Copies of this chain bind each other. A is one copy, B any other.
């Protein structure tokens, strides 16, 4: 392992907005009722105007306000690390670099956007943020950011995680957030779900609906989302912008850029600044890695669909398994999403980024090898990127090529040790949806506008 640090003074001062450089324009988001392209006012009940402007901006460089820079310096710049131990174990001529986002207090890349979102909301007089969280990565990041700027944070946490994963809950509580198990009695939608099924253990779809309802109903409250949206991907580009400076220090440029994808933000954060180079003619390959259990990019449909199960969000143009698709209970909870960021979907559709899908057990094999050779125990989500990098390094070995591989290690696995327990006890299973499962999910997009 060889670390390349960047000084705080060299932290990027602007984000990179790929919308300015796309060869073709993505399809616009549509109003769920009228099916007309969405205007800024349609989003105003949920987001502050600064974020709505970023969501729709075509400006290439968007300056990072000073207080956000200060907040990010809590843990940024994050290290770039050359995985010399892994290279050696693989006997590959490839050089493997990774950007390590697990250094943040919440343990992942999520605070990169949480801090920005909290700041812009505070600037516009918002007092309180509502959000959902599955296993708790995003909720704890927003709790941290709320603490930083003096905003109240209400987290609707999927009930099964609320019960089974108390540690992330304690973390959020530690950072002053109010947490409720979803479905909850705190919203009309939650009460409706509980009235129909008091034993409902929740889902991300239900939690999103509760958080949106909370924000829409209260004047002092806005809604906050941890992935998928353009402004979220924008905030994450600081990862790739730092990586470019650090790769320059290392004296290498990547041939292959790799990241795991759930909603798409950590992948885009690393990849988009490099994708700009590819659009301008550079020869770089991009690999987006998803779980075979939730194969949005590799087996989904490119279509207009809802971002949530309850059909409350705008319709967005993306790869989707259908908003009714229930992904199997793999340990990489952050990758269990039926849809995909519209921006990332667009560049996959355009052939700029190649999707790959891997199975749960082979991903944990990769995680175990990585933790033994590099010392860092990765989050199950991030381990998908590791598996992608290992495969690329083995291809390089077989081809006898000195490729430079760069991947995003989006978070550590300190709160996922029960998954490692299951892996070592050989209790992990590979889930693969059947064609029928997928067809049934995707059929939920029938009747929605075409792309």
Q: Which of A74, A368, A418 has the most CB of B within 10 A?
A: A74
Closest residue of chain B to A144, judged by CB? B375
Asked if A58 is at the interface (CB within 8 A of a chain B CB), the reply is: no
Q: Are A174 and B375 in contact (CB under 8 A)?
A: no
Looking at the assembled complex, report how far the CB atom of A122 sits from the nearest CB atom of chain B, in whole angstroms: 16
Question: In the docked arrangement, what's the CA distance between A377 and B371, Å?
Answer: 23
Question: In the docked arrangement, what's the CA distance between A3 and B171, Å?
Answer: 23
Question: In the docked arrangement, what's the CA distance between A5 and B103, Å?
Answer: 14
Q: Oligomeric state, in number of copies?
A: 2
Q: Are A372 and B74 in contact (CB under 8 A)?
A: no
Asked if A8 is at the interface (CB within 8 A of a chain B CB), the reply is: yes
Q: Are A171 and B105 in contact (CB under 8 A)?
A: no
Closest residue of chain B to A111, judged by CB? B375
Q: Are B415 and A105 in contact (CB under 8 A)?
A: no
Question: In the docked arrangement, what's the CA distance between A170 and B424, Å?
Answer: 8
B74, B174, B421: the one contacting A420 at CB < 8 Å is B174
Q: Are A166 and B73 in contact (CB under 8 A)?
A: no
Q: Which of A374, A376, A377 has the most CB of B within 10 A?
A: A377
Looking at the assembled complex, report how far the CB atom of A102 sits from the nearest CB atom of chain B, in whole angstroms: 10
Looking at the assembled complex, report how far the CB atom of A230 sits from the nearest CB atom of chain B, in whole angstroms: 27
Asked if A417 is at the interface (CB within 8 A of a chain B CB), the reply is: yes
Question: In the docked arrangement, what's the CA distance between A160 and B371, Å?
Answer: 26
Question: In the docked arrangement, what's the CA distance between A148 and B1, Å?
Answer: 11
Residues of B within 8 A of A169 (CB): 421
A interface SS class: helix
B1, B3, B73, B371: the one contacting A1 at CB < 8 Å is B73
Looking at the assembled complex, report how far the CB atom of A173 sits from the nearest CB atom of chain B, in whole angstroms: 5
Given contacts A5-B5, A176-B372, contact A377 B424 (CB under 8 A): no
Given contacts A73-B2, A417-B170, A420-B174, contact A105 B376 (CB under 8 A): yes
Asked if A175 is at the interface (CB within 8 A of a chain B CB), the reply is: yes
Q: Which of A8, A144, A174, A418 has the most CB of B within 10 A?
A: A174
B2, B5, B8, B371: the one contacting A175 at CB < 8 Å is B371
B1, B107, B173: the one contacting A424 at CB < 8 Å is B173
Looking at the assembled complex, report how far the CB atom of A153 sits from the nearest CB atom of chain B, in whole angstroms: 13
Looking at the assembled complex, report how far the CB atom of A416 sits from the nearest CB atom of chain B, in whole angstroms: 9
Residues of B within 8 A of A166 (CB): 417-418, 421
Residues of B within 8 A of A372 (CB): 147, 174-176
Looking at the assembled complex, report how far the CB atom of A187 sits from the nearest CB atom of chain B, in whole angstroms: 24
Task: In the A-B complex, list the 9 residue pairs whose CB atoms are closest, starting with the nearest.
Answer: A167-B417, A105-B375, A414-B414, A170-B417, A170-B420, A170-B421, A74-B375, A1-B74, A174-B371
18 chain-A/chain-B pairs, Cβ below 8 angstroms = A3-B8, A3-B73, A5-B7, A75-B375, A103-B103, A105-B371, A105-B375, A105-B377, A107-B414, A148-B375, A167-B418, A169-B421, A170-B420, A174-B368, A174-B424, A175-B371, A414-B414, A414-B415
